[in-house]
A and B are shown apart, each in its own frame.
Chain A
Amino acid sequence: MNCEVALILEHKYEQLQQMSDDAGNHVSQVFEKSQQYVKRFSRYKNPDAVRQVREILSRYQLAEFELCVLGNLCPETVEEAIAMVPSIKTKGRAHDDEAIEKMLNDLSLIKKFE
């Protein structure tokens, strides 16, 4: 998820700053653009909040990419969530609207208390 990557890249950046005296390396364009992107597009900034988001989403038997899209885009309604990740509604999966709504509510609570 973007917010997790933001924390990782931030940490990496600090590490590289510390190493830069003797190694003389600076970050690549790819790194810089990605860091700008994840910083801008992370809904959750606080590491504890990020951990909680991962924990909440993990309770719902989602595939990794489904978890990431939901964590990145933070849909507000069940309809929006299904539009973003249509696979959560395919037959045979245990995700009825109530479960999805509960999940979205839990996520928005974290945002409120961040």
Chain B
Amino acid sequence: MFLKVQLPWNVIIPAENLDAKGLLLQRSIIIRLLEDFAARKATKDLGYYLAVTTLESIGEGRVRQQTGDVMFPVVFSGITFKLYRGEILEGVVHKVLKHGVFLRCGPVENIYLSHLKMPGYSYMPGENPVFNDKVSRIEKDIVVRFIVIGTKWLEAEREFQALVSLEGHYLGPVS
């Protein structure tokens, strides 16, 4: 789900960029904020950081003793993406294995749908492996509607993994 968030942030402007005044300074703060934001990638609480929508306020700059940089406390609004348990979403299959498939949804690549959670489907190996049931197929590039049964935050890679299922009405491949 996409979230609208409001966050405080400390933007650090190195001394070299400080002789600009007024608008130019504000511009460097914004650029720096966008860079930091993109570099953050994701956090456990808010999910994947997508975009900054508005800069709500820029506080007074404080000079940092050791380095001579100036730190500006800012507040901004942005959009993030996070998966929640119980949420129903649509994603695209990108890998089919014997025991299940991997889906991609938004910025999340590692969404696993186990064979055990695909009631009625059986695996057909081959050059283009697929899971079949009487009426439909689950194979690469198919859109599937699923429910999230669990999520995991991986601190080292700064990303989420999710476990999903097709157990429920109106879930499964979408034409």
Contact = CB atoms under 8 A, between A and B. Distances in A.
Nearest to B38: A28
A103 interface: no
A19 B31 CA distance: 9
B18 interface: no
Interface string A62-100: 000100110011010001100111000000000000000
A79 B31 CA distance: 48
- State the majority secondary structure of interface residues on A: helix
Range of interface residues on B (Cβ < 8 Å): 20 to 34
Contacts of A31: 38, 50-51
A109 interface: no
A72 B168 CA distance: 18
Contacts of B104: 33, 37
B38 A25 contact: yes
Interface of B: 1-2, 31, 34-35, 38-39, 41-42, 48-51, 53, 79, 81, 84, 87-90, 92, 104-107, 109, 145, 168-170
Interface of A: 1-2, 4-5, 8-9, 12, 19, 23, 25, 27-31, 33-34, 37-38, 40-41, 65, 68-69, 72-73, 75, 79-80, 83-85
